[in-house]
Structure 1
Amino acid sequence: MKQGLSLRVSQHLALTPQLQQSIRLLQLSTLELGQEIQQMLDDNPFLDVQGEDAGDEFGIATSDAPRVADEPEGEGSFESTPAATPAETPSSAAADAEPGEFGADESPSWEGDGTTETVADDGEWGGDAPAARRNNNDDDEVDATELARGSESLQSWLHRQALALRLSEEDSVALRYLIESLNDDGYLEESPEQMAQGLAPEDLEQQEELVHRFTMALRLLQSLDPPGVGARTLAECLTLQLKPMLEDDPGDEAVGTALKICRQPIDLLAKRDVKRLANATGESEANVKAAIGVITRLEPKPGRRFVDVERNIVVPDVLVTQVGRGTRANFRVQLNPDVVPRLRVHDVYAGALKAHRGEGHQALQQRLQEARWFIKNIQQRFDTILRVSTAIVERQRNFFIHGELAMRPLVLREIADELGLHESTISRVTTAKYMSTPFGTFELKYFFGSALGTETGGNASSTAVRALIKQFVAAENAKKPLSDSQISEMLKEQGIECARRTVAKYREALRIAPANLRKEL
């Protein structure tokens, strides 16, 4: 084989570790970002958290200066704090590339330009973010998270009640086991036989003893508060709540009929099939309707009020506040200071590395450069979120004045073209990021919706159409609820072309039951 030399020119996309990190940080939620930062703080000694007595601050301090967008007279203005650089960020430059691709001669490295000096980028970023407030001494403001932590769980509530029962050690252990086996709704997902078999799979005699203990403990559990706790099925849960009502008033025909209904297939109750329930229970249709009315007032999920509300707390990444009213209202868009990290490069360690060049100096220099890139990528993440949020507020100005009925159609491509970013970058930014508005807190994706045609040739946002459907259902006659076809016709009267199937899809997305289940008996 003849050997020779040749030159070949080719282009390829190489994702450096810095670029991979930038893409990954951009798509993380606030909770995931906090975990990532904590992991980096544990791993990298050069990364530090700035204290409240910070000197020079670096980061969004310069980007928080109000900016008034140029708009026609009478259209209002926007005060916002976007990054001034319109060029595409590194995360968007390789938005479609898969992390982990490197050039043939390139190896993952965090090496920089060789310097170990503490430069301006080593300062704390997000310095204008105040420390998280603690409202323990403030009667007017209460931290919702602390309230959630202070709420009592279903298990602890039941354990406190169990202490008042004089039980043997074996029965007490069995009851404690059942309480800990409850799900968040207060249901037992296994029968005593299944639990006994799981604890003693090969000992039949021990299984029988466990079944006896669990059966006795289950009766005790189902006698505790809240009513219906410890049920295995919905029918059993409803029955446990109805029996005490019948004991208090044995002559209540509606409650007696309700107990008979609970013994029938539950799908008949779900469909409110009055005729079939009347035939199955031997009661009149009037009694069945009254019994269904009693059942609808029961709690199908006894443990619902004990569910830890901290799970449902959403911390917004962006805050939108209104200044002024009417068409001349101004909207200020800013990052939530409570989610902005206060990071910096550790000055002492960086100075020590500069002064002493010994064994392991190169490895430590790479860790220092890694800390710098991490701070820079986090800054870039929040700057991108702020720019995208500002563009959304400008596009959806009518929503922030009039509500969701005024939402206009918007797709990711419009924001991407306006900001000079890639569409996939906008998708990453708007996923699991939240904006606090005068009408509530919404995910950034909420402000994007497809367009539906109108009779005038314009477009209506699918979000606005869903809001209109919700409004129609709220104002309907409960005895004659609107069908999907009727809602479609009502939308046409409003000039919006929306097929019946589309109405059904939007109704299901809004978790609105079909007309036959919304009908009041």
Structure 2
Amino acid sequence: MIKQSLQLKLSQQLTLTPQLQMAIRLLQLPVLDLQAELREALEKNLMLEMDDGLELAPPKGEQQRSTENAREGQEAAPEQASGDDFREDLPYADVPDYTTGYSSGSRDDGDEQRDYADASGTSLREHLMAQLDVALPEGDRKAIATMIVDAIDDDGYLQESLEEICANLEPELHTDIDEVERVLACVQRFDPLGIGARDLCECLLLQLSPFAPDTPGLDLARRLAAECLVELGEQDYAAIRRRLGCDPEELETAVALLRSLSPRPGSAADSRPPEYIVPDVFIRRVEETWQVEINPAIAPRLRVNAAYAGSLGRSGEYSTLRSQLQEARWLVKSLEIRNETLLRVARAIVAHQQDFLERGEQGMRPLVLREIAEALELHESTVSRATTGKYMHTPRGVFEFRYFFSSQVSGSDGESVSSTAIRARIRKLIADEDPAKPLSDSALTRILVGEGIEVARRTVAKYRESMGFPSSNERRRVAIR
């Protein structure tokens, strides 16, 4: 027989209060989501108002401020190469550029080059449909051309076969493949050239079609596009010369002509506004120290409306307004906690990664979330939320907080080396290598070991592949003789 009894037991458990849940949610929100959350709160909660007349910064204001701070960071950064150093000189400057539908106006040598984003928001489809309305204003051909335009992807390639396009037009329109082929030829003359191609070969041939017949290397460039794209991608110039029977000078001219074309013509006509990254904190060098500041444009000060809060009194009426008052106080407090946590985490990262700010990627030190959590006496999950989707503006660029966290590799002197620093060193070694005798993974490993970085060959291979560098055999450039 079961005997019933009463027992007293003392226990503790962690409960997430509504205020704590709000603080956690605000901490993990990126900038744009945070601003949307605050705008919604200001619209719904009568007890909230902006402090000192501050308003949430509009997107244009954020972009302008971000641009100004980026310019200040470039001035404070070490010497950087100008845009002219990266300009690729093509052998035929008089050949028009058919890879874009826009022309760049001339400017004086003393004028500063400025790039202004097209805010019209015109997509590739809208760009093609505007030309279609002029070329084929009405009739069956316009319906066929509209179906073709709908089948073109963002890169400008036709993703459906002609048979599928004919089937999609049924039963409203009866047509045949020959008619669709003729309409496709009309669409392929639209701007930008190369649009509507079914593969890379056809795309390049369409872009070569407007060139004058006496253009140097034109005939050989067409043969390269039609017959030797695989060998050209592998840079197997010896096999190309044997197959096409051409000399090195002719091949070099044809290859340069092909490199002036665009393999993705659709991207040139897509003028949708880009998405800008708004930094959460700014890092500046003040005398001999690094100063960390919260971006005021994304962290407006909110406050409780004192007039409304004082009018409630102590009576039990107006329960809805009292609930809004409590939520408003929680939101203001949670926003303060968020800004304080971001600032503390950013300062701890900067204190740990000063060598990166002064020397670049090769000065990056190994760092994990646990180290920041222990230094700030926070939980590791809190640091994880504070570093996800958050960005800092430094003199070396805008980086996500997570960028400064990397694994470590033991060094010969007992000090650990960051994997980011190792990648930067491998990148520099490959950039400085002899193109005719590229460094193998074993050679890279020996160099790193000689510099005191104990790293395995398979680790070097993994880092090299993650940075997009091919193997030494693929990097070897065959001299064109």
Which TM-score applies when normalising by structure 2? 0.77
Equivalent in the alignment of 2:276: 313
Q: Give 1:452's aligned amino acid.
A: V
For 2:356 and 2:458, locate their aligned partners in 1 and report how far apart those are by CA, in whole Å.
Answer: 26
Equivalent in the alignment of 1:338: 297
For 1:411 and 1:240, locate their aligned partners in 2 and report how far apart those are by CA, in whole Å.
Answer: 52
Equivalent in the alignment of 2:334: 377
Q: Which residue, 204, 224, 229 being the options, matches 1:258?
A: 224
Q: Give 2:46's aligned amino acid.
A: F
Q: Give 1:30's aligned amino acid.
A: V
Equivalent in the alignment of 2:198: 232
For 1:465 and 1:137, locate their aligned partners in 2 and report how far apart those are by CA, in whole Å.
Answer: 36
For 1:12 and 1:355, locate their aligned partners in 2 and report how far apart those are by CA, in whole Å.
Answer: 34
2:43 matched to 1:30? no
2:412 matched to 1:412? no
For 2:18 and 2:477, locate their aligned partners in 1 and report how far apart those are by CA, in whole Å.
Answer: 61
For 2:185 and 2:262, locate their aligned partners in 1 and report how far apart those are by CA, in whole Å.
Answer: 19
2:188 matched to 1:187? no
1:116-172 CA distances to partner (integer Å, 9 max, x unpaired)?
xxxxxxxxxxx9x9887759999x969999835247543444344445425434433
Written as runs of structure 1 = structure 2, the 5 A alignment for 1:40-439 is 40-42=41-43, 44-46=44-46, 48-50=48-50, 53=53, 134=61, 147-150=117-120, 152-165=122-135, 167-198=137-168, 200=170, 203=171, 206=172, 208-209=174-175, 214-245=180-211, 247=213, 249=215, 252-261=218-227, 267-274=230-237, 283=245, 286=248, 291-308=254-271, 310-324=273-287, 329-354=288-313, 357-358=316-317, 361-439=318-396
| Cα 1:233–1:137 shift into 2, 3 Å | closer
Check whether the contact 2:362–2:424 (CA below 8 A) recurs between aligned residues.
yes
For 1:459 and 1:426, locate their aligned partners in 2 and report how far apart those are by CA, in whole Å.
Answer: 22
For 1:298 and 1:142, locate their aligned partners in 2 and report how far apart those are by CA, in whole Å.
Answer: 35
What displacement does 1:321 show? 0.9
Check whether the contact 1:257–1:283 (CA below 8 A) recurs between aligned residues.
no
Equivalent in the alignment of 2:19: 18
| Cα 1:425–1:198 shift into 2, 3 Å | farther
| Cα 1:454–1:425 shift into 2, 3 Å | same
Q: Provide structure 2 residue ranges, at least 5 long, that are not aligned to the other structure.
A: 71-113
For 1:330 and 1:142, locate their aligned partners in 2 and report how far apart those are by CA, in whole Å.
Answer: 18
Which TM-score applies when normalising by structure 1? 0.72
Count of matched residue positions in the alignment of Structure 1 and Structure 2: 432
| Cα 1:187–1:520 shift into 2, 3 Å | same
What displacement does 1:435 show? 0.7
| Cα 1:135–1:380 shift into 2, 3 Å | closer
Check whether the contact 2:184–2:196 (CA below 8 A) recurs between aligned residues.
yes
Q: Give 1:227's aligned amino acid.
A: L
For 1:450 and 1:137, locate their aligned partners in 2 and report how far apart those are by CA, in whole Å.
Answer: 36
Check whether the contact 2:392–2:401 (CA below 8 A) recurs between aligned residues.
yes
What displacement does 1:237 show? 2.0
Helix, strand or coil at the partner of 1:209: coil
Check whether the contact 1:449–1:462 (CA below 8 A) recurs between aligned residues.
yes
For 2:296 and 2:393, locate their aligned partners in 1 and report how far apart those are by CA, in whole Å.
Answer: 13
Check whether the contact 2:159–2:198 (CA below 8 A) recurs between aligned residues.
yes
Greater displacement, 341-350 / 462-471 = 341-350
| Cα 1:252–1:302 shift into 2, 3 Å | closer
Check whether the contact 2:426–2:444 (CA below 8 A) recurs between aligned residues.
yes
Identity %, equivalent residues: 38
| Cα 1:148–1:433 shift into 2, 3 Å | farther
For 1:215 and 1:52, locate their aligned partners in 2 and report how far apart those are by CA, in whole Å.
Answer: 65
Check whether the contact 2:411–2:417 (CA below 8 A) recurs between aligned residues.
yes
Q: Give 2:15's aligned amino acid.
A: A
Q: Provide structure 1 residue ranges, at least 5 long, that are not aligned to the other structure.
A: 55-126
What displacement does 1:505 show? 1.9
Q: Give 2:363's aligned amino acid.
A: A
1:312-359 CA distances to partner (integer Å, 9 max, x unpaired)?
4211111001123xxxx221100111211343334454345448754x
What displacement does 1:415 show? 0.9
Q: Give 2:413's aligned amino acid.
A: T
